[in-house]
């Protein structure tokens, strides 16, 4: 690992670091022209909207280093990192925070898919790595994130606001969907929400991370209003 990794990752000018406050710049011009009577009594220190400064950490070297160590034992990789980076300053602590964003150390591997302990699946993104729970090797997920929206279905009509009309076993139902939470009961699948049925829920509801909080069969009037009769 390069000795100046902390400087490369963190010590870079912030985006919009050269932005100047328009009010302050105007007042300086007034002072130069000796128009002191026109100076305001007060002015804010922050730049105007649209010129706010932002951090611009350069993370590509850290990602390249991790990718170059794929297949090696994480203990050895981490020891190499700690030989260069020690949390003795704010800058180096910041680098370690980025490291833990990139590397998941507590995962479960099921059927080739990698899941964090909170049930969320890890996907191959170019900045996602994990420590294999059995071998202790630094690895990268092989599966890429699927499309966020399932293909259009003739059995699904999106009414907006999380309300769907679904045709189930030949009958149309109004289904209220909400953001998924582990332990909730899915009214359509009749099962508990967890990572194992995420793909089934996406296929049914057309979006990832949703579950059916309730369902009710549509009456004739609602079928007619929706053009389903």
CA distance 19 to 53: 8
Instruction: Note down the domain range covering 189.
Output: 156-225
Q: Where do the H-state alpha helices sit in the chain? A: 5-9, 22-32, 60-68, 74-84, 90-102, 198-205, 220-225
Query: Sorting pLDDT into bands at 50, 70 and 90, what band is 17?
Result: very low
Residue 106 inside a domain? The answer is: yes
CA distance 226 to 213: 21
CA distance 124 to 24: 47
Q: Which of 13, 136, 127, 155 is nearest to 79 (CA)?
A: 136
Boundary (domain end) residue, out of 144, 166, 190: 144
As for how many domains the chain has, the answer is 2
Same domain, 179 and 69: no
Same domain, 70 and 167: no
* pLDDT of res. 175: 94
The answer, yes or no, to whether residue 33 has pLDDT greater than 70, is no
Please compute the mean of the pLDDT values over residues 170-187 and round it to a whole number. Answer: 91
Q: Which residue has the higher pLDDT, 65 or 19?
A: 65
Same domain, 139 and 165: no
**Residue 223 burial (C-beta neighbours within 10 Å; 0-12, 13-18, 19+):** middle
The answer, yes or no, to whether residue 14 has pLDDT greater than 50, is no
Q: Write down the pTM of the prediction.
A: 0.46
CA distance 8 to 218: 60
Same domain, 101 and 31: yes
CA distance 185 to 213: 7
């Amino acid at each position: 690992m390069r000795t100046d990794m902390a400087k490369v990752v963190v010590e870079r000018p912030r985006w919009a670091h050269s932005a100047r406050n328009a009010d302050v710049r105007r007042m300086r011009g007034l002072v130069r022209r000796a128009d002191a009577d026109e100076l305001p009594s007060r002015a804010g220190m922050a730049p105007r909207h649209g010129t706010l400064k932002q951090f611009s950490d350069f993370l590509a070297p850290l990602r390249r280093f991790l990718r170059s160590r794929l297949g090696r034992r994480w203990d050895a990789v981490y020891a190499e990192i700690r030989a260069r980076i020690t949390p003795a300053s704010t800058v180096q602590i910041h680098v370690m925070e980025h490291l833990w964003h990139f590397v998941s150390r507590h995962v479960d591997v099921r059927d080739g898919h990698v899941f964090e302990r909170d049930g969320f699946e890890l996907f191959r993104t170019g900045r996602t790595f994990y420590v294999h729970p059995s071998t202790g090797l630094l690895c990268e997920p092989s599966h890429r994130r699927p499309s966020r929206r399932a293909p259009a279905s003739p059995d699904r009509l999106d009414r907006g606001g999380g309300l769907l009309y679904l045709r189930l076993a030949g009958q149309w139902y109004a289904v209220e969907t909400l953001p998924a939470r582990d332990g909730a009961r899915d009214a359509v699948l009749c099962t508990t929400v967890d990572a194992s049925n995420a793909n089934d829920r996406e296929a049914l509801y057309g979006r990832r991370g949703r579950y059916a909080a309730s369902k009710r069969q549509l009456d004739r009037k609602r079928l007619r209003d929706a053009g389903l009769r």
